[in-house]
Structure 1
Amino acid sequence: MNRKRNLLISLTAAVLSGLLVYGIYMLQLRQVKFQETVSVVVPKQFVQAGERLTSDMLSLKQISKASYVPDMLQDAREADGMEAVMPLGSDEPLLKWKVDKFRLLPSRTQSTFQIPRDYVLSVSNGIRAGDKVMLYVSGETVESTRLFEEAVTVASVKSSGNVEIDDTDNPNLMSLANGDKEKMYVSRRDANGMIDYINLNLSEAQWLELDSLCKSGKSRIVIAYSSQSLDIGQASGETEVNP
């Protein structure tokens, strides 16, 4: 009886010892993995939103491999010439979504379409290039509804003289990039000019859907400013577009 009990105690001790050794091994392995480092791109100094990055503004910094995420840039050449979408802190690992090279250009699956004036029923007069807008269809023969589920990007808004509508002393795009709600609001109030032409970045499917609805003249679209651009509340109003 004592022999069996001693054997059981020995086996239990052996299992506990094995678990202890395994735990120490895993702890050491985790520590070694954490101590491994990788190089990531960081700004040398604070960078304002809207500022274009150059190679002399960037450097490499060693961070632990455990802190690395795939969205971090590791080659400074990738960021050279890109624009900061938001303020970047000094020595802050540079994430891909925080920089963009051509913010107003269409993506690979899009094109920039100038929306014909006779397709537009109304357009929010606070819209500026870079804003997100929602499109709604309206007409006597169709039920008023949202045209696309997602907001689309405005490539440009121009007057009849083919001049971009904005406040020259306080450009809306710079205020938008800096996240300055007050200046963004002021730029919309101070900008003068009737929106005669609006260009939107749309996919081919989106344009074909819009065109098929409006080309007969029985339906037109309403272009509304979306708070997705920056949460500053509702747009300042709408202005009728003369066909």
Structure 2
Amino acid sequence: MHRRKQAVISLTAAILSGALVYGVYMLQLRQIELQETAEVVAPRQFIATGTKLEESQLMKISLPRSVVTDEMVTTMSEAVGMEASMPLGGQEPLLRWKVDKYRLLPRAGQSTFQIPREYIKSISNGIRAGDEVLVYLSDEETASRRLFSEAISVAGVKTAANLEIDNPKSSNLLAMANDNKDGMYASRRDANGTIDAINLNLTDDQWLALDAACKSGTAKLVIAFQASSIREEERR
């Protein structure tokens, strides 16, 4: 009986010892994983919306491998040449959904629609390709309202001669790419014509809602320029 008791105690001690060793091993393994780092791409400093990314604006930062996600850009070659779709914070991991190669093209699920002139009541003359605009509905029969809660991307604005609205001596898109606020302002102020046609990137549901609201002729669109990227940079 005594020998059996001793055997049970020895077996229990061995199991507990093995469990302790295994627990320490797993803890050490976890600490090693946390200490492992990976390099991701980040802007050196704040970058405004519309800026075309250059290698001199970017840097590599090290993060614990456990917090690195698939959305983070890990190579310089992937980031260089992309355009910021929104303001980018300095030394913050660059996320793929915050940049785009061709900002003026419609995104997945969108198409580019030229808005019929008879649907439009007014367009802000400050609007240029690449801007975000707010679309309002001015209705004779009901209260005016915001048609879309979100801002809409502008694919292009044309004069009556089918020329893209811009300042030939100071291109708005070039000023945006160079993060030149003064150039952007001058381009909008000294443009080469009045907006006659505007192209918006819309989803099917957005276009159908816009068409349904305006085709009777009692409601028209008011399209307003939203200078969010410029204002954001000024606040910083």
* TM-score calculated relative to the size of structure 2: 0.70
Q: Distance in 2 between the 1:59 and 1:189 partners?
A: 35
Identity within the alignment, %: 52
How big is the shift at 1:182? 2.7
Q: Distance in 2 between the 1:76 and 1:180 partners?
A: 24
How big is the shift at 1:35? 3.0
Deviation by residue 1:80-139 (Cα, 9 ceiling, x = unmatched): 7634557898x9864314431111111111110000111100000100011111111113
Query: 1:161 aligns to what?
Result: 161
Q: Distance in 2 between the 1:58 and 1:227 partners?
A: 25
Query: 2:109 aligns to what?
Result: 109
Q: In the superposition, relative to structure 1, how do residues 62 and 184 fare at CA in structure 2: closer, same or farther (>3 Å)? A: same
CA contact (8 A) 1:214 1:220 kept: yes
Deviation by residue 1:205-237 (Cα, 9 ceiling, x = unmatched): 1111111121121111110112334328xxxxx
How big is the shift at 1:192? 2.7
Q: Secondary structure at the match of 1:157?
A: strand
Q: In the superposition, relative to structure 1, how do residues 37 and 137 fare at CA in structure 2: closer, same or farther (>3 Å)? A: same
Q: In the superposition, relative to structure 1, how do residues 134 and 58 fare at CA in structure 2: closer, same or farther (>3 Å)? A: closer
Query: 1:195 aligns to what?
Result: 195
In the alignment, is residue 204 of structure 1 matched against residue 204 of structure 2? yes
Q: Distance in 2 between the 1:200 and 1:186 partners?
A: 23
How big is the shift at 1:187? 1.5
Q: Secondary structure at the match of 1:118?
A: helix
Q: Secondary structure at the match of 2:32?
A: helix
CA contact (8 A) 1:131 1:229 kept: no
Stretch of structure 1 that moved more, 208-217 or 80-89: 80-89
Q: Distance in 2 between the 1:66 and 1:129 partners?
A: 40
After superposition, residues 123-138 of structure 1 pair within 5 angstroms as 123-138=123-138
How big is the shift at 1:140? 1.7
Deviation by residue 1:182-219 (Cα, 9 ceiling, x = unmatched): 32222211213110010001111111111112112111
Q: In the superposition, relative to structure 1, how do residues 169 and 27 fare at CA in structure 2: closer, same or farther (>3 Å)? A: farther
How big is the shift at 1:53? 6.5
Q: What letter is aligned with 1:120?
A: I
Q: In the superposition, relative to structure 1, how do residues 170 and 27 fare at CA in structure 2: closer, same or farther (>3 Å)? A: farther
Query: 2:145 aligns to what?
Result: 145
Q: What letter is aligned with 1:153?
A: S
Q: In the superposition, relative to structure 1, how do residues 179 and 41 fare at CA in structure 2: closer, same or farther (>3 Å)? A: closer
CA RMSD across the alignment: 3.8
Q: In the superposition, relative to structure 1, how do residues 84 and 226 fare at CA in structure 2: closer, same or farther (>3 Å)? A: closer
Q: Distance in 2 between the 1:222 and 1:51 partners?
A: 30
Q: In the superposition, relative to structure 1, how do residues 174 and 81 fare at CA in structure 2: closer, same or farther (>3 Å)? A: closer
Q: Distance in 2 between the 1:107 and 1:157 partners?
A: 18
Query: 2:18 aligns to what?
Result: none
Q: Distance in 2 between the 1:217 and 1:197 partners?
A: 18
Q: 5+ unaligned residues in a row in structure 1: which ranges?
A: 1-20, 233-243
Q: In the superposition, relative to structure 1, how do residues 145 and 61 fare at CA in structure 2: closer, same or farther (>3 Å)? A: closer
After superposition, residues 35-54 of structure 1 pair within 5 angstroms as 35-38=35-38, 40=40, 50-51=51-52
Stretch of structure 1 that moved more, 70-79 or 101-110: 70-79
Stretch of structure 1 that moved more, 177-186 or 204-213: 177-186
CA contact (8 A) 2:53 2:79 kept: no
Query: 1:65 aligns to what?
Result: 65
Total equivalences in the alignment: 207
Q: 5+ unaligned residues in a row in structure 2: which ranges?
A: 1-20
Q: Distance in 1 between the 2:212 and 2:144 partners?
A: 16
* TM-score calculated relative to the size of structure 1: 0.68
